[in-house]
Chain A
Amino acid sequence: MMARGSLRSGWTAMGTLTTTLLVAGSADARTLRGTAELQYQNTEAANLSRPVESWTKLVRVDHDRRLPASLEFSSHFVFSEWTLARLPDRTRNFAGTLQLAHPYFGLLTSYRPAEVRDAHGFTTRQQELSLSGNVQKSGLPQLSGTWVRRHHTPDAGSPGFTSVARSLSAAYTRANTSLRAGYGDRYQAIQDAPNRRREDHFGLGSSTQLRIRRADVSLNYDFGQSRTSPGSSRSQVSRTHTAGVSSGLQISERTSSSLSYSFRHTKTVARSASRSDEHVGAFSLAHRPSPGIEVSGGGGVRNAMINGLIETERYVTAGATAEGEARPGWRLGAGAGHSVNWLPGQPGRPMDSFRSDTRMRLAPGLEANGNLLISTSRSLAGAPGRTGPGREFSLQTGAGINAHPLRTLSMDGTVSRYGAGPSLVRVGSSSTTHAGNLRLRPSSKLQLNGGWGRTSSQGSTGTSRQGSIQWSPNRSIQISGNYSRGRQESRGTAARATSGQESWSGSVVMALTRDLTGTFRYTESNPGQVSHVRQVNATLVQRFGR
């Protein structure tokens, strides 16, 4: 009953609004555009007793109209139907959107009913109706609001379900200060179920930008409250206060500093209350003795979750980076950092990192690159997932080459390696990846691509190969083909397992007339395996309007 009422009111509202606006005033129709699409798909699979045939029909219509007083009206409608031949399965979707736009306000409403009938003939229906709007004018607060109602019609398999969500927000900016506020709530009810779920939330906040001498200072504060099932035994209330300050100061032409601090207090009241205070603060000082070289240092506090409790961790850090051109066509970059982290009452845990990357033009059309990243850290005693304290190294390296020997040919190859363990020599785990790609474009009408990759690690090896061709003999036809093959081989202590995937596809796209396009696609995956699938797909798309 409720569903029918909602359905009727949704259609009525949209119909009335469309009719009114279409005939309004001295409006001049600008455009009516759309597409009609018909698709046939035939799927044969090793696990299907007979081929599955499906039809998809889709119609999309867009319309817009300029109205007096800077008003613009637009509407979008989409209807789609998917059916399985000789089977009851069917899905129907409709979506209609009406929009009214003005420089000072906007209104948008949409209605989306959907109907799904499954293999047993059971039909489920749901509808969504939404309204949203905004008002904005320079010097006045900007307001926006939404109202969304979803309804699932009760059926043989599931009870009815309704949810309504509303929100209203306001923002106002004056000089260097902006204020914001918002309220929202949501209501959920499952038919015949005793529990109805409600939640609401509201928030307000402000930001201020200041200039104090040579320093830019930003201050912000936000308060938020979320209530779940208010007034019931399952109620939960969370209140969060967040305050922050950040500042940047250019001390001299080469030296700058920044300071930021954010405090977040969260109090949650359910059957019991819990509080948490989180501090995130950082101070940094950076100096550039020459272009391309920077040394920096700093420190701060941040949160750490230790055995379910939030603690405040302190840290200090120092680092240096250098970047520049060693020779024309050869760029080098490097950086090193050292930091010490410590928790109250615990010894400090040092962490070091070093990175380097380079890019070199070896010859016209030939470029090489490489990168290296080493980090070492000491883990926290008793940290979750760790067996104990100890020093850990990780190493990530990569090298690659890009070549354009001809204007029509390009190639690239990369090798990368990851390792981690108690030392750089005794690597506990590692993986190595090789990859290569080739692109050939002998003419503007023909393009060929190929790629190969191999990853080996911890006793398993995965390889992949792929290739594609695209040929456009003239402006109205495009022919393409793809092939890919992947294989994974795992070697355990006694057993050896392999798995693989292989697929190829071909497609033809033809512009039958200026507005009518036809597409034919054939795909075959994993031939000769239990997961073998063969699929044929044909689509006609007719465009109309301008």
Chain B
Amino acid sequence: MRPTPMGLTAILLLSSLLGLGAKPLHPYRTAAGLDTLLALGPHVGDCERCHTMHGKSDLVYLHALLGPDENSLCDVCHDTPWEGGSYAGTALYLSSSHAAGEGTVWPGPVPPPRTEAGATGKCLNCHDPHGWMDTRGLVPKLAIGREESLCLTCHDGAPASTNIASDLIKAFRHPVTDGSGRHAGPLESLPTSFGASPTNNRHAECADCHDPHVATADAAGVPPAPALSRANLGVSRVLVQNGGPGALPSFTFAAGSDTLSAPVAEYQLCFKCHSSWTIQPTGQTDLALALNPANKSYHPVEAAGRDATILAGAFVPGWTASSLTRCGDCHGSDLVDAPRGPHGSSYRFILKQPYTASSQPRAMTSEEICFACHSYDVYANPSASDAVRASSRFNKPGADKGHAEHVGEENVPCYACHVTHGVPNLDHLVATGRTPGIRSYSETIGGGTCQPTCHDSQPYTINYAR
């Protein structure tokens, strides 16, 4: 193997740095610096809780500590689960990925990396009991980094294999990196904590969806929908109690501690920001209202869909009319080996695959998000055989315009005639009022009538019984 120019440059750079007689960069590790730091944080006056000057026992521990320099020393005081909002106690922490994982070790450079044996899973990888200061002052929660900058030090591909950083720089993303200081901590429990008005508290920090003391990998694979991934356990959510179609739902806030005993659904986490529990930004869909299973039609997030007799051929293999889906099936990274979760995507609405929310005529492709579950050949390919297209009720063999012809020949995109999440008063997620689109729609047992903006009112008959 020949050394590359880049490799030689790196070796030269490192060699020159080594020769400079390096001194450790610990700006606050002086007596005066520690005094300043401690005075700002919650451990002020607590020196003797962790250190001893006079050796009270036969054992002598590093840094004149009262016990070994590890988590058991922190546990002496931090022994009440959930007291601070996100630390659920020793037992749960030990089963989390950060404690039991392969190598949760702070990699540096600021503060310096942890290199001692047994560093894996130590509280000190993310917290400094004395506090840590950045340009904006003391970092809250005695953490050594502020908000996402702490998490992304590891979760940028190395040392943690989950590369969240590459999704958070994409054009469409949750606003993790956009603001700072809005997240008040894991005890946020009021609708206004996440509301857009009157004070804009909209935020989505890592800790709003993940509890680093509890989160763990889904060792047995992704749990079936609607269950929440174990990577999101220990985080607060809102439980929805639905009323009739179109009626405002009611909510119950559930603290993070509740996720460990009760069945937990992923959408409950999303509803913290994307439902009328909080004050949403103008124009944003109230997803609790749209996904209400009492609606005439809805995507099957909270309950299986209403139309149970759709033929299996109408779906992509793996999906059926009785399938449940989760928000994360459509919203997430556009890369296949990226971590799950709607961190960011190259596509608008943080969709995994492209989709244009416009009814203007365009040729849809098989890569668009709708066809991740709904068969492209059935709904958009007029060249597919009658037998294939017959899986849609609106593809009657012999009729000249069905689903496939509308989409594949007339360039009518799904958006022109269908809403995405749910609709209280119309079947089949039919959308009205869009231009081009459907002005009115009515249904009979064997078919229906559609009055669109594109042509005169047309009756149709269905392909197989509803």
* A contact set with B: CB distance below 8 Å: 30-33, 60, 62-64, 69-74, 76, 78, 93, 95, 97, 99, 101-106, 108, 110, 112, 128, 130-138, 142, 144, 146-148, 150, 161, 163, 165, 167, 182, 184, 186, 188, 197, 199, 201, 203, 224, 226, 228, 234, 236, 238, 240, 266, 268, 270, 272, 274, 282, 302-308, 311, 313, 315, 317, 319, 337-339, 341, 343, 349, 351, 353, 355, 373, 375, 377, 380, 382-387, 392, 394, 396, 416, 418-421, 428-431, 433, 455, 457-458, 460, 464, 466, 484, 486, 501, 545
Query: A353 to B117, alpha carbons, bound, how many Å?
Result: 54
| Cβ-defined contact, A387 with B424, below 8 A | yes
With A30-B117, A103-B24, A377-B279 as contacts: A132 and B158 at CB distance below 8 Å: yes
Complex CA distance for A526 and B52, rounded to whole angstroms: 50
Which residues of A have CB within 8 Å of B199?
317, 319, 337
| B137 interface residue (CB < 8 Å to A) | no
A31 near B241 (CB under 8 angstroms)? no
Bound complex: CA of A105 vs CA of B169, how far in Å? 25
Q: Evaluate contact between B158 and A131: CB separation under 8 angstroms.
A: yes
| Chain B contacts with A in 260-296, Cβ cutoff 8 A | 261-263, 276, 279, 281-287, 289-290
**Considering the complex, which residues of chain B in the window 349-373 have a beta carbon less than 8 Å from any beta carbon of chain A?**
354, 356-358, 362, 367
Chain B residue nearest to A351 in the complex (CB):
B197
B84-95 Cβ-contact flags toward A at 8 Å (1 or 0)? 000000000000
User: By the criterion CB–CB under 8 Å, are A78 and B117 in contact?
Assistant: no
Across-interface contacts of B119 in A (CB, < 8 A): 62, 64, 74, 76
Identify the B interface with A (CB < 8 A).
10, 13-14, 17-18, 20, 22-25, 102-103, 105, 107-110, 112-113, 115-120, 156-159, 161, 163, 165-166, 169-171, 190-192, 196-200, 239, 241-243, 246-253, 261-263, 276, 279, 281-287, 289-290, 334-337, 346, 348, 354, 356-358, 362, 367, 415, 419, 421-422, 424-425, 433-434
- Point out the residues of chain A lying under 8 angstroms from B200, CB to CB: 282, 302
5 contacts between A and B (CB under 8 A): A108-B113, A135-B13, A184-B169, A186-B335, A234-B367
Q: Which of A71, A135, A226, A319 contacts B346 (CB 8 A)?
A: A226
Within the complex, what minimum Cβ distance (angstroms) separates B368 from chain A?
11
Chain A residues whose CB sits within 8 angstroms of the CB of B354 once the complex forms: 236, 270
Identify the closest chain A residue to B161 (Cβ). A128
- In the bound complex, what is the Cα–Cα distance between A272 and B358 (angstroms)? 13
Do A112 and B102 contact each other (CB < 8 Å), given the known contacts A103-B23, A106-B108? yes
Whether the pair A228, B281 counts as a contact (CB closer than 8 A) is: no
Please tell me which one of the listed residues A63, A102, A108, A144 contacts residue B18 in the complex, with CB atoms under 8 A apart.
A102
Asked whether A431 and B107 contact (CB < 8 A) given A33-B117, A184-B166, A240-B171, the answer is: no
Kindly list chain B residues whose C-beta atoms are within 8 Å of the C-beta of A60. 120
What separation, in Å, do the CA atoms of A337 and B199 have in the docked complex? 9
Question: Which residues of A sit under 8 angstroms from B10, Cβ to Cβ?
Answer: 133
Q: How far is the CB of B20 from chain A (nearest CB, A)?
A: 7
When chains A and B are docked, how far (Å) is the Cα of A367 from the Cα of B202?
32
Shortest Cβ gap from B279 to chain A (Å): 7
Q: How far is the CA of A266 from the CA of B346 in the complex (A)?
A: 11
Min CB distance B255 to A, Å, is 10
Please name the residue on chain A nearest to B358 by beta carbon: A308
Of A110, A188, A457, the residue contacting B252 (CB under 8 A) is A457
Q: Which residue of A lies closest to B81 (CB)?
A: A449
From B23, B115, B165, B250, give the contact of A418 (CB < 8 A). B250
CB pair B250 A163 closer than 8 Å: no
- Determine how close the nearest CB of chain B comes to the CB of A187; give it in whole angstroms: 11
With both chains docked as a complex, state the minimum distance between the C-beta of B359 and any C-beta of chain A, in angstroms.
9
CB pair B250 A458 closer than 8 Å? yes
Check B25 against A103 for contact (C-beta < 8 Å): yes
With A62-B117, A545-B117 known as contacts, the answer to whether A353 contacts B282 (CB < 8 A) is: no
Are the C-beta atoms of B367 and A136 separated by less than 8 Å? no
Q: Which residues of A contact B251 (CB under 8 A)?
A: 418, 431
Determine the distance from Cα of A343 to Cα of B283 in the docked complex, in whole angstroms: 10
Is there contact, CB below 8 Å, between A302 and B281? yes
Q: Told that A106-B108, A386-B289, A545-B118 touch, could you supply 11 new A-B pairs with CB distance under 8 A? A: A31-B116, A101-B112, A108-B159, A150-B161, A186-B335, A228-B346, A238-B170, A343-B282, A428-B247, A431-B251, A545-B117
Assembly CA distance A354 to B196 (angstroms): 15
Please determine whether A134 and B109 come into contact, CB atoms closer than 8 angstroms.
yes
Nearest-neighbour CB distance to chain A for B332, whole angstroms, equals 15
In the assembled complex, the CB of B362 is this many whole angstroms from the nearest CB of chain A, namely: 8
Nearest residue, chain B, Cβ from A430: B250
Query: CA–CA, A290 to B200, complex, Å?
Result: 25
CB contact under 8 A between A384 and B112, given known A74-B117, A138-B25: no
List the B residue with the shortest CB-CB distance to A106: B108
Q: How many angstroms between the C-alpha atoms of A228 and B367 in the bound complex? A: 14
Of all chain B residues, the one with the shortest Cβ separation from A135 is B13
Inter-chain CA distance A317–B279, complex, in Å, is 15
Q: How far is the CB of A127 from chain B (nearest CB, A)?
A: 11
User: Which residues does chain A contribute within 8 Å of B170, judged by CB atoms?
Assistant: 201, 226, 238
Q: Which of A104, A319, A353 has the most CB of B within 10 A?
A: A104
Determine if B158 and A130 form an interchain contact, defined as CB atoms under 8 angstroms apart.
yes
What residues of B have a CB within 8 angstroms of the CB of A313 in the complex? 281-282
The 7 closest A-B pairs by CB, nearest first: A95-B102, A238-B171, A457-B241, A429-B250, A304-B282, A31-B117, A132-B158
